[in-house]
Structure 1
Amino acid sequence: MLKPIVKFIVVVTAVASSYLMANDFPNKCSRDQNVNEFTILSYHEIADKSETLDPTYAVTPSNFDQQIHWLIANGYHFIGINDILAYRNSGKALPKKAVLMTFDDGYQSVYANAYPIIKKYKIPVVIALVGSWLQAKDTVDFDGQKIAREKFLSQKEIKEMIRSGLVEIASHSYFLHKGIQGNPQGNMQPAVITRQWLSDKHAYEDEKNYQQRIYNDLSANNTFLKHYTGQKPRVIVWPYGYYNKESRTIAARLGMNIGLTLDDGSNTRLTPLWGMRRILIDKSMTLKALEHDIGSRNANLTDNDRATKAAHIDLDYMYDPDPAQQERNLGDLLDRIKKLGVNTVYLQAFADPDANGAADYVYFPNRNIPMRADLFNRVAWQIATRTQVKRIYAWMPMLAWQLPHSNAAAKDSVVTLQVDSTHLNMGYPRLSPFSPKAQKVIKEIYEDLAVSPRIDGILFHDDVTLSDYEDDSTFARKQYKKWGLAPSVTKIRADREQYEKWTNLKTDYLDSFAMELAQIVRDRHPGLKTARNLYAQVALNEYAEEWYAQGLSESIKHYDYTAIMAMPYMEQAADIRQFYDKIVERVKQEECGLDRTVMELQTINWRKNDEPLSSEELSDTITHLYDLGVHHMAYYPDSVFKNIPDADMIKKAFGQKPVYMHTLTPNTTIPNNQE
């Protein structure tokens, strides 16, 4: 039986409560230094527990009343959509501490229990309506349950609220507030962003039909709401907070240029009207939590300020030709993740069964490379909905693709000059980043990955690199000429000035291409974060950028996180403790270094017959790194079926670090009944 969607999708999409005050942390490392211009609150039902349809997101009338009074008493001012548009379009100032109130789904309890307070205090609000629910005669199909139509707003009640001048109607879709089958395994996933799995055709919905389905639904809801309420929506409130570039573009074509989401973060001058962020108010929202959540938005603090505690998971361990065994493997993985207590997973999306360092297969449907199994979608969704994990990164190569021989870009490889055996050599095949055909294929692979409904970030593999003897391909030589350099690696290496310039240009070129690929995925996953694997030597040796075309400073500037492969046994470090200390010392020299760097530890010794590191050693290392001030930690690999590393040890060791990177000190007195 498929899991009902409403009971879990909002949970995983909703912004994680930050519980951070504006003055807890200076936020100098925030990607967005702009001021939060206004806060948007997202409510659902306003009803006592005995009367709710979904108690998780219901706020009692008494708590709602207290929240409104708290906002007023603390100097917040209520605004409407017109105020935001006047500010954005003509610069008309918003009041300080501006707050927009919104109500999703159109419950009757909003009219019965919230509207009297809205009228009393003249609060402008947005109410998002689902056309198919309003058009139902006797019952509404609500999360697979038959609910009486009277539990939702009547036409008379809607029109009365509109006439007050305080209520603006928004579209919440006509029939997209539901889950549809999103993979062969039967996961029900958000209808707005999911390419539906068509069981009868054993295929996914194609792009043309997907976009037509979204257009038809949003268009139908606009037509219905205009007729039913007298107001044509100019605001789209995305069901469950999910949207993408295609859906928001369609909404704009239909006159809805304003989109309300559940994205994490503040509403600053850089926040587009189509992606305005809201705080989800649920049954557990106390006044203290409300203050903290608004404070975190005012401080531009996001889920990025959560200390990373990451497991690096190989999908190869989950894969099995027998679907039943594959599902059992997945069940074991989910149980293990719960025991580990991690909040982040770096999830392998590719496969390299011949172990030559280049991906021969992927775990998602695509146009260019064989699919080993349609597994990434399934595993990512199950982790997101069945465990405590907050962020799932797709672990992907950038250049290391072993394309089928029939692919036009298969031979457009990085060319490495012959060097002596003692010199650093990357050792695995990669496509040349300077080849237009290779770039096109790589972009298409990332486009196809992005179709997966749940991706919070991209972790770029350690192949974002070119050695100091690479790339000497025809494509690379053309690029070197454009840079004003000699047309070959040999000639460039003969001139120290050109050599240094070449190193810097290659580093920037690779990072820029990574950002371009990330943006392809971000178009469908707006809150996407980026991380990259970085060789430890880049942080330890001043000449390492020449060897790898990787730079610590550049990486910290470009990526949200830089995952340094702090693996002393792999690096054959003479002094293990000193190895870690030197990396951390170097990271601390960078502005925001600790805030944007992940220390990725090894759990086995590959140079000693894959011998596992002891639990005591790993625990001591994690403790030591935390003592040095490290915020973010990860490990690799995780051997699911061998309990390597020991799950209890990891949970205890990671538990030494608070959830957030900085100590929190509440500074507001809260009424006892709201604690």
Structure 2
Amino acid sequence: MSRRAIFVLTHALALLLAVFAAPAAASGLLVLSYHDVRDDVARKGDADLYAVSTQNFAAHLDWLAGHGYRPVSLDDVIAASRGERTLPDKAVLLTFDDGLRSVYTRVFPLLRAYGYPALVAVVTDWVDLPPGRTIDYGPRPFDRDDFLTWEQLREMQASGLVEVASHSHDLHHGVNANPQGNTTPAAVTRIYDPQRRRYESEAEYLARIRRDLATSAGTIERELGRRPRAMVWPYAAYSSQTNRIADELGMRVTFDLEGRSQKVTGDLHGLARLLLMDNPNVGDLAYELRHDEELEGLRGLQIDLDYVYDPDPEQAARNLDKLVERVKQIGPTHVFLQAFADPDGNGSADALYFPNRHLPMRADLFNRVAWQLRTRAEVKVFAWLPVLGFELPDPAQRQELAIHSRNPAETFRLDPFKPQTRRIVSEIYEDLAVNSYIEGLLFHDDALLREDELVGVAPATPTARTQALIDFTLELHRAAGKWRPKLVTVRNLFAAPVLQPGSEAWFAQRLDAFNRAYDYTAVMAMPWMEGSREPQAWLDRLLEEVARSPDGLARTVFELQTVDWRTDRPIPTERLKAQVRRLLARGARHVAWYPDNFIDDVPPLRDAREAISARSFPYIER
């Protein structure tokens, strides 16, 4: 038997074991998201990635019914949130986006046969599409025969099985998001006007969203006699501000596409949905519902945007292409992308790469690069930004707000206990979120406080100083979260507080406190930076100490160094690969490195792909 055949059989056996032996997902509300349902969908690789075959959809309903899932309606969910009704165990709500004709011709008959209720979210501008008009839906232009009519919606609503939600009136498309011409989802983007060289103001943006949602809700009420109670955001792109507008228009339930199930509470905004893609069969569905997401490892590259920047736009574009191609070939899960400019390499921000209220903008570059990495390299992009290290342009203000360290080589930082600092940095994080399509935040290693700094101002004990800085970063998370909900948080941690707990006094950092506060802690597993003479033994000890901490291995990213900054030479790639292998073999779950130098191919692409790719079988994509 060939090695490939053995690999395929082993993979298939692992899948079967995961599907039929693993425990079911935790009890809660499961929301499934479907789009088109057709008879002729390819088994895999259909031109419409979001289409599901009629046969597979019917099999999903059979499997759900046979495995104890109980169908619920939106009305059941709302009643449960008010304490008026109890949802059954393993409750499942079916949702169908975009208002496609197949919901009436293929789905509705099956809903009636199985007695399953559903929520159908329509783009009101697409319902009863005028003759001759088409929508660029992806696989081909869709016309009036591809979308629902109001008459069909009335019939389905009258059955008592279907409730109609808004999917916006005209937000299901991208709009110009930056000077370079990238398009991002209309519901969360401040439109850039190249003629006037300006972005939409907050007031203009919110007024545009309100007009759209009011038009959609008003149209549904006029045509169907009922005002929609739910808003299904196109592309799952929304914010607390857009949810507030939906609330005011009577749509107090909103959905996104992150997660599998959740407990129902009084807040029904941002309900998680499982998006069904690539025509999943019953085995695929079962795997998605039963596999433990907590066991999935993070593989990250921390990347300097300073390497992409060039005053020549054409050179910057070439640099960006080189970065995207490298990331795509390596195949990590995450990129931690520098959002600040630090050309002098002193660890603090001289400028930023996004429009903001407080620092110079070196170039309007971050959003473009983040979006290109997300869409072309298919990675999750986290913004890497200082917490305190912002060199404000006004010398008097900078002096007034600075932490005055006795060590002249110390990273410049602002005093977090001054209200003006808190306001300025919070506004920087808010401006980042307004202008950037990101999925998380990496808090830079500048968030530290020495025991001889701010004496009489900062809390007296190391534990209290640690918590004070944590509280400040959580405040920054909330500021960004106003425009980007559900941001994942990661914070850099020096190795010394892990290896020598008493050094918390010198850093105001502690692993267990970080792992309680953030989704991940990125410990700087950099033995050469720490001057170790035995790097591997040093890393072994670091991992042992992390493993002793509660949830240590589950929540900690081991961030390796790829360069020995004492000599400015790359770490030998065989040694780097050996470090990754040993960390994983000894129980580490998440690994990243810094820097990833895409300009000079350091570490070399072949070795980088072998060491840190998230693919189970790394290969070059053609």
Q: TM-score, normalised by structure 1?
A: 0.85
Q: 2:610 aligns with which of 652, 669, 674?
A: 652
The equivalent position to 1:48 in structure 2, one of 34, 39, 61, is 39
Counterparts of 1:584-599 in structure 2 under 5 Å? 584-599=543-558
| Contact 2:31–2:261 under 8 Å retained in 1 | no
Which residue in 2 is equivalent to 1:621? 579
Q: Residue 122 of structure 2 contacts residue 168 of structure 2 at CA under 8 Å; is this kept in 1?
A: yes
CA distance in 2 between counterparts of 1:522 and 1:270 reads 20
Gaps of 5+ in 2: 1-14, 618-622
Task: State the alpha-carbon separation in 2 of the partners of residues 213 and 548 from structure 1.
Answer: 46
Flag the 1:513–1:622 CA change in 2: closer, same or farther, 3 A.
same
Q: Please tell me the residue identity of whatever aligns with 1:71.
A: L
Find 2:400's aligned residue among 384, 391, 411. Answer: 411
Residue number in structure 1 paired with 2:193: 198
Q: 1:634 is aligned with what amino acid?
A: A
Q: Work out the CA distance in 2 between the residues paired with 1:468 and 1:20.
A: 50
1:267 and 1:426 mapped to 2: Cα distance? 48
Does residue 93 of the first structure (1) align with residue 86 of the second (2)?
yes
2 CA distance for matches of 1:600 and 1:509? 24
In 1: Cα distance, 2:231 partner to 2:396 partner:
42
Q: 1:505 to 1:22 in 2, by over 3 A?
A: farther
Q: Relative to 1, partners in 2 of residues 1:44 and 1:521: Cα closer, same or farther, differing over 3 Å?
A: same
1:127 is aligned to 2:120: yes
Distance in 2 of aligned mates of 1:467 and 1:178: 49
Per the TM alignment, residue 92 of structure 1 is displaced from its structure 2 partner at its CA by 2.1
Q: Is the 8 A contact 2:82 2:266 kept in 1?
A: no
- CA offset digits 1:112-134 (Å, max 9, x no partner): 11111111222111111111111
Which residue among 204, 207, 210 is the counterpart of 1:209?
A: 204
Q: How far is 1:154 from its partner?
A: 1.4
Match of 1:639 among 594, 597, 620: 597
Note the alpha carbon deviations across 1:588-623, whole angstroms, 9 max, x for none.
111110011111111111101x11111111011111
Q: Which aligned pairs between 1:126-145 and structure 2 lie closer than 5 A?
A: 126-138=119-131, 139-143=133-137
Q: Which residue in the other structure is 1:537 paired with? A: 496
Counterpart position of 2:367: 377
Aligned partners of 1:647 and 1:26: how far apart in 2?
Answer: 39
Q: Which of structures 1 and 2 has the larger relative contact order (alpha carbons within 8 angstroms, sep 6+)?
A: 1
Map of 2:473 onto structure 1: 514
Aligned counterpart for 1:38 among listed residues 25, 29, 48: 29
Give the direction of change, closer, same or farther, for the CA distance of 1:148–1:244 in structure 2 (3 Å limit).
Answer: same
The TM-score normalised by the length of structure 2 is 0.92
The answer as to whether partners of 1:267 and 1:276 remain within 8 angstroms in 2 is yes
Matched, 1:65 2:58: yes
Please tell me whether residue 222 in structure 1 is matched to residue 217 in structure 2. yes
Q: Which residue of 1 aligns with 2:152?
A: 157
1:348 aligns with 2:306: no
Contact 1:409 1:437 in 2 (8 A): no
Q: Structure 1 residue 452: deviation in Å? A: 3.1
CA shift, 1:433, in A, is: 0.4
1:307 counterpart = 2:311: no
Deviates more, 1:229-238 or 1:45-54: 45-54
| Per-residue deviation, 1:241 | 1.1
Matched, 1:554 2:520: no
Q: 1:633 to 1:42 in 2, by over 3 A?
A: same
CA 1:221/1:377 → structure 2, altered by over 3 Å: closer, same or farther?
same
Q: Report the AA paired with residue 368 of structure 1.
A: H
How many angstroms does 1:406 deviate by?
Answer: 6.4
Distance 1:350 1:646, change over 3 A: same
Q: Give how far 1:356 is off.
A: 3.0
Aligned-pair distance for 1:246? 1.0
Percent identity, aligned pairs only? Answer: 38
Partner residue in 2 for 1:526: 485
In the TM superposition, residue 200 of structure 1 has moved relative to its aligned partner by 1.5
| Structure-2 separation of matches of 1:148 and 1:443 | 46
2:316 corresponds, among 315, 326, 345, to: 326
**3-state DSSP of counterpart to 1:431:** coil
How far is 1:577 from its partner? 1.5
Aligned counterpart for 1:568 among listed residues 527, 530, 550: 527
Work out the CA distance in 1 between the residues paired with 2:511 and 2:65.
Answer: 47
* 3-state DSSP of counterpart to 1:215: helix
Equivalent-residue separation in structure 2 for 1:626 and 1:150 (angstroms): 53
Q: 1:99 to 1:504 in 2, by over 3 A?
A: same
**Contact between 2:341 and 2:351, CA under 8 Å: does it hold in 1?**
yes
User: Aligned partners of 1:136 and 1:221: how far apart in 2?
Assistant: 15
Q: Measure, in 1, the Cα distance between the counterparts of 2:538 and 2:252.
A: 53
In structure 2, what is the Cα distance between the partners aligned to 1:374 and 1:137? 40
**For residue 288 of structure 1, what is the aligned residue in structure 2?**
283
Inter-partner Cα distance in structure 2 for 1:194 and 1:221: 19
Q: How far apart are 1:204 and its partner, in Å? A: 0.7
For 1:640 and 1:629, locate their aligned partners in 2 and report how far apart those are by CA, in whole Å: 29
RMSD: 2.4
Structure 2 distance, partners of 1:455, 1:655, is: 21
Distance 2:24 2:116 in 1: 33
1:454 alignment partner in structure 2: 437
Give the equivalent residue in structure 2 for 1:168. Answer: 163
Distance across 2 between alignment mates of 1:237 and 1:211: 17
- Cα 1:535–1:657, aligned 2, differ >3 Å: closer, same or farther? farther
Q: Secondary structure at the match of 2:250?
A: coil
1:408 shift after superposition: 4.4
Q: Following TM superposition, by how much is the alpha carbon of 1:48 offset from its aligned partner in structure 2, in angstroms?
A: 2.9
- Paired with 1:563 and 1:25, the residues of 2 have a C-alpha distance of 30
Answer yes or no: is 1:438 the counterpart of 2:421.
yes
The answer for unaligned runs of 5 or more in structure 1 is: 1-16, 28-34, 420-424, 484-500, 660-675
Q: 2:115 and 2:264 mapped to 1: Cα distance?
A: 26
**Aligned residue identity for 1:337:** V
The aligned amino acid for 2:348 is A
Quote the Cα distance in structure 1 between the aligned partners of 2:484 and 2:557: 22
Residues 488-524 of structure 1, C-alpha deviation per residue, up to 9 Å, x if partnerless?
Answer: xxxxxxxxxxxxx521111100011111111222232
In structure 1, C-alpha distance between the alignment counterparts of 2:299 and 2:59, rounded to whole Å = 36
Question: Hey, what does 1:577 align to over in structure 2?
Answer: 536
Amino acid at match of 2:277: D
Q: Find the residue that maps to 1:342 and give its secondary structure.
A: coil
Structure 1: distance between partners of 2:20 and 2:196 = 53
Give 1:272 deviation, angstroms.
3.0
Pick one of 203, 224, 241 that aligns with 1:246: 241
Q: Secondary structure at the match of 2:451?
A: coil
Partner residue in 1 for 2:7: none
